Structure 1
Amino acid sequence: MAELKLTDVAKTYGGSVEVLKDINLDIETGELIVFVGPSGCGKSTLLRMIAGLEKITGGTLEIEGQVVNNVPPSQRGIAMVFQSYALYPHMTVRDNMAFALKLAKKSASEIDEAVTAAAEKLQLTEFLDRLPKALSGGQRQRVAIGRSIVRDPKVYLFDEPLSNLDAALRVATRIEIARLKEQMPDSTMIYVTHDQVEAMTLASRIVVLANKGIAQVGTPLELYERPENEFVAQFIGSPAMNLLPGKIVETGTQTRVALEGGGTALSSAPSVTGDMGAAVNVGVRPEDLVQVDGDHIYAGNVDFVEALGEVTLLYFESQHGADPVIGKLPGTHKDVRGQKVVLGADADKVQVFKNGRSLYYA
C-alpha cells in the first residue's frame, strides 16, 4: 500500500536558480494524480525528484512513512514510464518486459508469470515474440508500461507518455491507461502531462503547478467548476475562461457586479459588506454563456466565427487591448459575424475574483 508525502519540497540549481518551492502534497494509496501546468513550471522536475533522478534540495519526500530523500532510485519501489519508449530494439517484447526481473535474479517461473499477466492486462499477448520495430507507436508505449507493471512497484510514474503519439493513438492509449488503472485499483500513479483532456479524464486529483509552487489541488470538476484563482480558472478549460472587470454593487449570499462594459453579473459566490465597491474580475466560461434578452453580462459585435459543427465559437471585438471575449454556443449559428450578440449566464456558473482569488475561497 503506497502513500507519498511531500513536505516543503524545493528545488534549486546552483544554489540560486529556484525552480520549485514549498511543495506540500499528500498522495493516498490508489490515487491517479496528474501534474499539469505551463511549460517550464517544474512538473517533470517534480516527478524526477520523486523518482530519485533529481536531488531534492529542500524539504522531505516520504514513501510509506519512510523519508527517501537520499535513497537511490532503484530502492524506492518506483517504476517510471518515459516520454520515449526506451525499448531495446534487439529484444522481443517478452524480453523487454522481463529484463528488469532478470536483473533482479527472479526465477524463470516468476518472470514468466509476471510477463504473462502484464501482457494480458495490456492486450499484448499475441505480440510477445515480436521485435519493437514490428509494433505501432501505441503498442510500443504499452510495452513500456508493461515493463513497469511486471516489477509490481509501489508507485508508477508517467512522464508525458502519450506526447509522441498521433491524435488517434493518444485517444486509444489514454483509454487503455484508464482501463489499466481500473484493473489495478490499489496502484498509485503520478502522471505528468500538458494535455488538459488527459488530465481531466484520467485524474483522481489534479495538481496545477505555477509560479514555482502549487496553484491548486482538486478533482477535475472542482478545478473546472470552482477554481481558487484566476490562473487556474484560465488554465483549466478550452477556450480559457473569460475575465471581465467590474465593481461589486451588492453583497450577501450572492454577489452582483457592475461590469465596465455596461453589463451586470450575478454570482452565487458569497461576499461581505467590506467587499462593496471593490474592483473585481468576473469569470465566466465560454460554454456557460447563452443568448439572452434584457439583463446581460456581455453584449458586443462578433468579430470572428469558428463553426465546428456541434458548437460555434464566437470571438468578440477586443477592447482597450484586452483579450477578446469568447462565446461557445451549441449547434450552428450562421450569419452572426459583424452582428451584435447579447450573452448572459446562470449565477452558479459565474465566478468573482478579488485580488486574483475567488470569493468562493475568501
Structure 2
Amino acid sequence: MADLKLTNIKKVYNNQVEVMRDINLDIKQGEFIVFVGPSGCGKSTLLRMISGLESISGGTLEIDGQLVNDIPPAMRGIAMVFQSYALYPHMSVYDNMAFSLQIAKVSKADIDQQVRKAADMLQLTEYLDRLPKALSGGQRQRVAIGRAIVRKPKVFLFDEPLSNLDAALRVATRMEIANLKESMPESTMVYVTHDQVEAMTLADRIVLLSAGNIEQVGPPLELYANPRNVFVAKFIGSPAMNIIPAKITQTGGITGVQIVAQQHVSVPLNTPDKDHDALVSFGVRPEDLFVVTEGDYLVEGNIAFIESLGEATLLYVKVPNCDDMVIGKLSGTTEFKRGDQVKLMTVPEKMHLFDTTGLTYRNAI
C-alpha cells in the first residue's frame, strides 16, 4: 500500500482549456479519500490522471515515493473500479475475478486462494459459479470490486461505483464498501462521487472540488461545521445552508451584524475591528433553525412551501427583501400550513459569517 503526493497538478486540453489547476494534495497510506463536487468540477479527471488514463499537463504525481507521470497505468500499482461494472458476460464470477491473475501467470493455487478470500470478504462465495446476468446490480458491483482486490494494488480508485444502483442498493453497497475499508485498514482508497451522503459517510477526508480547484480538504464534519467559504457551506449539507445578506454595524460601541432583510435583528461580533456598514453574508443551516413565538428571532416571514418527510418537516419561508427563501428543518411533523407567519431563531455558535468574496470570517460570532 502507498502514499500519494500530488504537487501543482494541472490539466490542459488543446493547449488552451485549463480544467485542473495547481492541485496540491497529500494522501497517506490507509486513508479513504473522497473527491466530491458538482458535475464538471474535475473530480473524475483528477482520478483518471492518478490512474494514468489521462496525461498530466503540469506538476508531479508520486505513488509510494516514485514519480509516475510518464509510467503507464498497468505499471502504477493501482486498481480502478468504474461506474460501469465491465464484467465479462460469458465468464463466471470466479473467472471474472481471476482473469487478471491468469493473464499475469499467477499459479492456480494462488489464484484460487486470492479469489476465494476476496469473495468471502465481499459475501460472494455462494455466487462464484454464476454468470453476471444472474446477479443483481449490487452483486455485480461487488464482483468488480473483488476483481480489483485480488490484484493487491498499492491504491484503489473508485469512479462513482454506485451511480447505476437504485436507492436501496446504494445504501447497502455503501455499507459494504465501508466494511471493506475496515477489513483492509492499510489500503489507500480514492473515491469519486457527486453524492455528498456517500462522501460524508465513507471519507476519512473529503476533497471538495469546484471548477478545477480544491475548495477545502478535511474530515467530513470539519467541512460541515467550519466551511472555509460560501461554496463549501452550501455544497455540504442538505438542504443547503441558508445564506442571507447582512451588514456590519456598530451600536453603543458594540460591533455586530444585522441581517439586511430584517434590520431589527442584531448579533454581536467577537471582532470589533471590522469595517462598519460593510456588506457581508450571514449563514445558518436549516437544521439549526427553530421556531419562536416571542423574544429575539433571526428572520420572520410567511411559509411559501412545506415538505413533510415524516422524520422532519422543511419550511420554506419567504423573508421580505431577501431573494432566496429561508429553509427551516424541524424534527417530526408540524401543524404549520402555507401562508402562516413564522419567526425562526438559532444559537450563536451555529451562525456563520462570510465576507464579500465569500470567505468565512473565522471565529467572528
Aligned residue identity for 2:361: L
Task: Please give the per-residue CA displacement for 1:266-288, whole angstroms capped at 9, x wherever unaligned.
Answer: 37x74341343321101000010
CA RMSD in angstroms, aligned pairs only: 1.7
Aligned to 1:143: 143
CA distance in 1, matches of 2:363, 2:106: 52
| Alpha-carbon shift at residue 297 of structure 1 (Å) | 1.2
Q: Which SS does the other structure have where 1:359 is aligned? A: coil
* Structure 1 residue 229 corresponds to structure 2 residue 229: yes
For residues 29-178 of structure 1, what are the structure 2 equivalents within 5 Å?
29-178=29-178
Counterpart residue number, 2:281? 281
Structure 2 counterparts to residues 252-331 of structure 1, below 5 A: 256-262=256-262, 263-264=264-265, 266=267, 270-292=270-292, 293-317=294-318, 319=320, 322-331=323-332
Q: Deviations over 1:149-191 (max 9, x none)?
A: 0001010000000000000000000000000000001101000
Contact 1:45 1:54 in 2 (8 A): yes
Q: Which runs of 4+ in 1 moved over 6 A?
A: none
Aligned length: 359
Aligned twin of 2:349? 348
SS at match of 1:303: strand
The answer to whether the 8 Å contact 1:265/1:282 transfers is no
CA distance in 2, matches of 1:111, 1:205: 34
Corresponding residue of 1:205: 205
What whole-Å deviation, never above 9, does each CA across 1:210-242 have from its counterpart, x for those lacking one?
132101011110011110000000011111100
Q: What is residue 246 of structure 2 aligned with on the other side?
A: 246
- In structure 2, distance between residues paired with 1:87 and 1:120: 19
Q: Deviations over 1:19-73 (max 9, x none)?
A: 0101000001111100111110110000000000000001010111111000000
TM-score normalised by L of structure 1: 0.96
- Inter-CA distance 67–319: structure 2 relative to 1 (3 Å threshold): farther
Alpha-carbon contact 1:97-1:115 (below 8 Å) kept: yes
Identity of aligned residues (%): 64
Q: Distance in 2 between matches of 1:346 and 1:191?
A: 35
Contact kept, 8 Å, 1:31 with 1:189, in 2: the verdict is: yes
Q: Which moved more, 1:350-359 or 1:317-326?
A: 317-326
Rounded Cα–Cα distance in structure 1 between residues aligned with 2:222 and 2:331: 23
Contact 1:271/1:359, CA 8 A, preserved across alignment = no
Q: Verify the 8 A CA contact 2:302 2:319 in the aligned structure 1.
A: no
Secondary structure of the equivalent of 1:274?
Answer: coil
- CA pair 181-341 structure 1, distance change in 2 beyond 3 A: same
Distance in 2 between residues matched to 1:174 and 1:352, nearest whole Å: 34
Q: Aligned partner of 1:358: which letter?
A: T
Q: 1:299-349 CA deviation, whole Å, 9 max, x = no partner? A: 111111111111110111265572211111111112332111111111111
Shift in Å at residue 139 of structure 1? 0.4
Q: Is the 8 A contact 2:248 2:274 kept in 1?
A: no
Given residue 309 of structure 1, which amino acid in structure 2 is its aligned partner? G
Secondary structure at the counterpart of residue 261 of structure 1: coil
Paired residue type of 2:267:
L
Deviates more, 1:350-359 or 1:255-264: 255-264
2:196 corresponding residue in structure 1: 196
DSSP-derived class of the 2:109 partner: helix
| Structure 1 Cα separation of the partners of residues 336 and 237 of structure 2 | 27
Q: Is the 8 A contact 1:248 1:276 kept in 2?
A: yes
d(CA) in 2 for partners of 1:81, 1:265: 51
**Residues 259, 265 of structure 1: 8 Å contact kept:** yes
Stretches of structure 1 lacking an aligned partner (at least 5 in a row): none
SS at match of 2:334: coil
